[in-house]
Structure 1
């Protein structure tokens, strides 16, 4: 099994968006419908969701006009309104505004060995009714930079890598400062980092320049550097690897100042169990083999940390979580290695190189 792929032929943002929207029209519509259902179950009506989408589009236009143009192009190609595509891009912000909570989510490991390229892997957990949302998208910028991203249909970027030797992993966070006054979507911060940054410092500067309303952590990796850039309305902090070159992140803040407003401490305590699991398996996570790194993450609840999640079908859709993908960055090649599903399903033959 593999995720669908699309390679853009256009470099102009609006034209690139229209081509993407046209090609993935059905998937984008299905993704929007899936999020509309999720928001409704969590208590948000259609009028409120539209207002949030329009507010997000305004914030995007102020902070990244080219991204607003691309969203308009996607909408034109997919037969939607721009605010509807903005809703897909701002789903993290809308969920924070609704104050929806749950027990799933992602785990990330980055190891910078003394010799050789960075060794990375993450699980991507999300709601099981959205398992058909992911796509792999390659596009080229006017600058000549090529970006490859694992994202959702209609979303400008998520986890990704560039031929300039920079990659990003992505985990959601929750903070007391999260607000319903929608700001720049965190997925668009990831997009600008992929498009513009060459260093961890440049990526951190991009993150600091955005007014956000929801929290996340974007772990940025280059050949010799890495940092987990924790983003919230209360501020931005960059967490470096330890002296051993190991950088781990789950779904709680590691910066001491931002951790004072942590929301997962009582709502998603499994994040701490997952972090301890990663710490206990650093040796496996440090290996050169992608398959072995994924298997080092393997753990199921209730016997252990719920790194590999499977949905409880007795729960409403907003409380069902599944590990939909396992992903590593191949920085020297500028490629992603993606497995559809969780670590418990990984074999040498299941990796998709993109």
Structure 2
């Protein structure tokens, strides 16, 4: 099984968005429906969701006008209003506004070896009713930079890699300062980093320039650098690798100042168990083969850390979690290696290259 792919032929933001929205109309609409259902179960009203989408669109237009144009283009192609596509891009912010916290979420490993390219892998956990949300999207900018991203149809970026030799991983965080005063969607921060940054320092400056209302961590990797950029309304911190070149992140803040406002781990401490699992399997996470790195992530609940998640179908949709994808970055090639599903389903033949 593989995720759908799309390659844009347009470089103008609105035209590129319209082309994608037209081609992926059903998937974008299905994602909007899936998120609307999730927000409803979590307690949001239709009026709240629309207002949040409109605020997110305003914040996006003020911070990155071309990205707001691209959202408008996707909406035109998919037969939706721009605020509806903004809702899909701002789902992290809306979930923070609803104050929803869940068991699942992602685990990321980056190893910078003394020789050879970075070795990365992450699991991407999400609600099982949205397992068909992802798409692998390739687009080229007017500058000639090519970006390839694992994202959700209609969302401008998530995990990705560029022909400029920079890649990003993506994990959600929660902080006491998160609020319903919608700011710039964190997925748009990832998009601007992929579009514009060539170094960890440039990526960090992009993150610092956005007023956000929700928290996340974007782990940025280049040939010789890496940092987990923790983002929250309370501030931004860049966490470097250790002296051994290892950088691990789950769903709790590592920066001491930001950790004082930790929300996710105080309610869902499984993130600490997942981090311990990664720490105990650094040797496997350091191998050159992405399949081997994925297998080093393998751990189920209740046997150990829930790095590889499977949904409990007795729970409501806002409390059901599944490892939808396992992803590694191939920086020298500017490519993503993607497996549909969790580490327990990985084989040499299940990897999709984008």
State the match for 2:107 in structure 1: 107
Does residue 6 of the first structure (1) align with residue 20 of the second (2)? no
Distance 1:280 1:173 in 2: 22
State the match for 1:201 in structure 2: 201
State the match for 2:245 in structure 1: 245
Distance 2:4 2:196 in 1: 26
Deviations 1:59-78 (A, max 9, x none): 00000000000000000000
Q: Following superposition of structure 1 onto structure 2, how do residues 168-317 of structure 1 map, counting pairs within 5 Å?
A: 168-317=168-317
Q: Following superposition of structure 1 onto structure 2, how do residues 137-156 of structure 1 map, counting pairs within 5 Å?
A: 137-156=137-156
State the match for 1:164 in structure 2: 164
Distance 1:24 1:275 in 2: 36
SS of aligned partner of 2:210 = coil
State the match for 1:84 in structure 2: 84
SS of aligned partner of 1:213 = coil
State the match for 1:346 in structure 2: 346
Distance 1:177 1:198 in 2: 30
Cα distance, 1:190 vs structure 2 = 0.0
Distance 1:266 1:113 in 2: 33
What are the ranges of 5 or more consecutive residues in structure 2 without an aligned counterpart? none
Does residue 28 of the first structure (1) align with residue 15 of the second (2)? no
State the match for 2:336 in structure 1: 336
Distance 1:73 1:175 in 2: 33
Structure 1 outlier segments of 4+, above 4 Å: none
Whether the aligned pair in 1 keeps the contact of 2:251 and 2:265 (CA below 8 Å) is no
State the match for 1:53 in structure 2: 53
Distance 2:279 2:37 in 1: 37
Cα distance, 1:265 vs structure 2 = 3.0
What are the ranges of 5 or more consecutive residues in structure 1 without an aligned counterpart? none
SS of aligned partner of 2:212 = coil
SS of aligned partner of 1:108 = strand
Distance 1:7 1:265 in 2: 38
TM-score, structure 2 normalization: 1.00
How many pairs are equivalent? Answer: 354
Distance 1:18 1:239 in 2: 37
Distance 1:45 1:144 in 2: 43
Deviations 1:39-91 (A, max 9, x none): 00000010110000000000000000000000000000000000000000000
State the match for 2:95 in structure 1: 95
SS of aligned partner of 1:211 = coil
Distance 1:163 1:265 in 2: 35
Cα distance, 1:266 vs structure 2 = 2.3
Distance 1:282 1:288 in 2: 12
Cα distance, 1:268 vs structure 2 = 1.1
Deviations 1:197-236 (A, max 9, x none): 0000000000000000000000000000000000000000
Cα distance, 1:22 vs structure 2 = 0.1
Aligned-pair RMSD on alpha carbons? 0.3
Distance 1:100 1:43 in 2: 9
Cα distance, 1:272 vs structure 2 = 0.1
State the match for 1:39 in structure 2: 39
SS of aligned partner of 1:220 = strand
SS of aligned partner of 1:10 = coil
Whether the aligned pair in 1 keeps the contact of 2:101 and 2:264 (CA below 8 Å) is no
Cα distance, 1:310 vs structure 2 = 0.1
